[in-house]
Amino acid sequence: MRHSNVLIPLASALLSGPALAWAPPGYSGFNTVWYDDFDGAAGSSPNGNDWNIITGNLGVNNELETCSRNLQLSGGNTLQIVPWRDSGAANGWTSGRIESKYVFTPQNGLVTRVESQLRFGSNDPGTKQGLWPAFWLLGQALRQGTGWPQAGELDIMETVNGQLVGHGTIHCDVYPGGICNEPTGIGAAVGIPNQDWHVWRLEWDLRNGDWTQQTLQWSLDGGVFQTVSGARIGNQGVWNSLAHAPMYFLLNMAVGGDWPGYPNAGTQDGYGSMMEVAYVAHYQT
């Protein structure tokens, strides 16, 4: 269900335990501008007013998957994105990808926070060769004809091959090379304690009127693992594409590709290899 401009009662301290998996928490000092908590009947699709369900093979990163409707609401306020082996698909795999119709712009003078609570299927990480789940953002300018990476990309969580390592990455400027050293990007990694529920967050701190002192900050369960300032980017136009321009959310499970390589005989498909999403939320001070 979509919720716009909803003010969740602020809490001075977060609740702990499983309850956090089913609705976005409130945070002291922040208003909740928008969220989706993926409520709905088991087996149904995410709200079409909020999300575009992507279909077909996008022809990017040498990925194998054909995106189809391999995603569903669980009936327990989560979204499940599931990779499946499929001999009828062009490259032998289908999976899922959604992109938000909701678009937001970080506000100058404020702190903007976006986050999602995610977990991975319970299959042994050693059986996930070639799988590549992600929670990320793209600049709305991409939908309007600006090329990649000039439109801006902010990856909040990516992990490959079942590794319990998460990556937060910026893609920007020009390809190849440029300020963000494309196609590598500017990034940092963090260890993931396990495959259970964890909160992945990105914040824009735009309170300083000097753009070089503004920051982007990545965290896992509240622990910061990367901070990038405008000064590090060093170009105001490029910084604006990352920190002052409209963006939209993406959630997907890629299969194969340049980074993870390809599945092997031991790669397992199905729910044990899925990415499950409890909520996506946008907050602002």
User: What is the edge-to-edge ordering of all strands in the sheet holding 97-104?
Assistant: 51-53, 97-104, 247-255, 131-139, 153-158, 165-171, 186-191
Rounded distance between C-alpha atoms, residue 205 and residue 111, angstroms: 5
Task: Say if 126 falls within a structural domain.
Answer: yes
Rounded distance between C-alpha atoms, residue 244 and residue 206, angstroms: 9
Domain count, the chain: 1
pLDDT of the residue at 9: 32
Task: Say if 22 falls within a structural domain.
Answer: no
Rounded distance between C-alpha atoms, residue 230 and residue 71, angstroms: 37
pLDDT of the residue at 125: 98
Task: Say if 31 falls within a structural domain.
Answer: no
pLDDT of the residue at 22: 72
Mean pLDDT of the chain: 92
| 68-78 per-position pLDDT tens digit | 889 999 999 99
Task: Say if 112 falls within a structural domain.
Answer: yes
Instruction: Give the pLDDT mean for 143-153.
Output: 98
Instruction: Give the pLDDT mean for 197-223.
Output: 98
Instruction: Give the pLDDT mean for 126-141.
Output: 98
Q: Which residues span the domain enclosing 112? A: 2-10+38-284
Instruction: Give the pLDDT mean for 192-212.
Output: 98
Task: Say if 236 falls within a structural domain.
Answer: yes
Task: Enter the pTM of the model.
Answer: 0.92
Residue 3 — pLDDT band, cuts 50, 70, 90?
Answer: very low
Task: Say if 231 falls within a structural domain.
Answer: yes
Residue 11 — pLDDT band, cuts 50, 70, 90?
Answer: very low
pLDDT of the residue at 23: 82
| 258-280 per-position pLDDT tens digit | 999 999 999 999 999 999 999 99
| 154-169 per-position pLDDT tens digit | 999 999 999 999 999 9
Residue 264, C-beta contacts closer than 8 angstroms, at least 6 positions apart: 129, 130
Rounded distance between C-alpha atoms, residue 219 and residue 156, angstroms: 9
Side chain identity at 160, as an amino acid letter?
Answer: V
**DSSP conformation class of 127:** G
Task: Say if 25 falls within a structural domain.
Answer: no
Rounded distance between C-alpha atoms, residue 5 and residue 21, angstroms: 21
**DSSP conformation class of 184:** T
Instruction: Give the pLDDT mean for 76-97.
Output: 95
Residue pair 243/228 in contact by the 8 Å Cβ criterion = no
Side chain identity at 230, as an amino acid letter?
Answer: G
For residue 175, what are the CA distances in angstroms to 150, 152, 178, 180, 205? 8, 12, 7, 9, 27
pLDDT of the residue at 259: 97
pLDDT of the residue at 233: 98
Side chain identity at 15, as an amino acid letter?
Answer: L
Residue 88, C-beta contacts closer than 8 angstroms, at least 6 positions apart: none
Residue 18 — pLDDT band, cuts 50, 70, 90?
Answer: very low
pLDDT of the residue at 69: 80
- CATH number of the domain encompassing residue 81: 2.60.120.200
Task: Say if 62 falls within a structural domain.
Answer: yes
Instruction: Give the pLDDT mean for 135-140.
Output: 98
| 99-129 per-position pLDDT tens digit | 999 999 999 999 999 999 999 999 999 999 9
